[in-house]
Structure 1
């Protein structure tokens, strides 16, 4: 399964094993999806968003920090490190699309928005410049989260194609403040597309 190519560049293995939490607990985590639809969603994300970005900036500059989140990985992200007492990571399975089309124990999708998402950065490029490029090139994202110029961005691709953008305060609260230029560009592009 790990040799499945998701697009022109990335393989399923990298997409499922790139987190620090997986590296720390890899002997206890099955990082791979259980639903074939999750793989298809990751392929769609790669073809629509990741491939054009790597085409532009180069494979050697692309750094994936968080891709697919399996049920096992979710469990460990929710746990606290026994030494530091700090949670291994943040996960919002009902919102962030990292679990793609995976089902919970009740047989319901973790995230009803479906699609797939990932977090990444481009080395030697501030993330605000990366967001500029994504918006200017009209990539069909669903949600984009901007955490700061020196942090990875989160981007998803799913059936809603909302092109919704959020920034986050230092305390982790979502805000639209400070990203008005991006919001205006996205709205203008949507209006222009609707008028064609």
Structure 2
């Protein structure tokens, strides 16, 4: 197994691009090699199989979509109220929009997990860990609402991001005078998160 960490990272990122563009069915070592601009057969030297590649893509997707520590530090200086939750949700949408391939890769991983029980188990574990981390963060920050609030907010934002990145015209004009996605984010938070 090849041990060049930079090459492995480039191959994983190429895998993310292939996953976003072609879906899980198009994620082959040959497609990853082509996307990374490396000789055919390179990816097979770095991953034990397709499942190994998918596991590493899963980990990389969470890294790519993680909050920027500086942005997070700036937000954490604000009052711990509903407006801060709104700011966090705006940041979440900005990250998903900025790295569209990574977010679409997450969606493709979800679809592939419905077809592959072995992937479903590991992917469920990583997504569940993200949700639990979000709940813990919400509690530790002393933000309004509890775990149920975070769970419903998670579901609402998941749907909003899905529509915004895949079929943005669906949401245009649904609520007259409400901007997409910014105004909808504010409406979601106002509806779900209680006043402090």
- Same topology, TM > 0.5: no
- TM bucket normalised to smaller: under 0.3
Please say which structure displays the higher CA radius of gyration: 2
TM-score by length of 2: 0.26
TM-score by length of 1: 0.26
| Greater helix proportion | 2
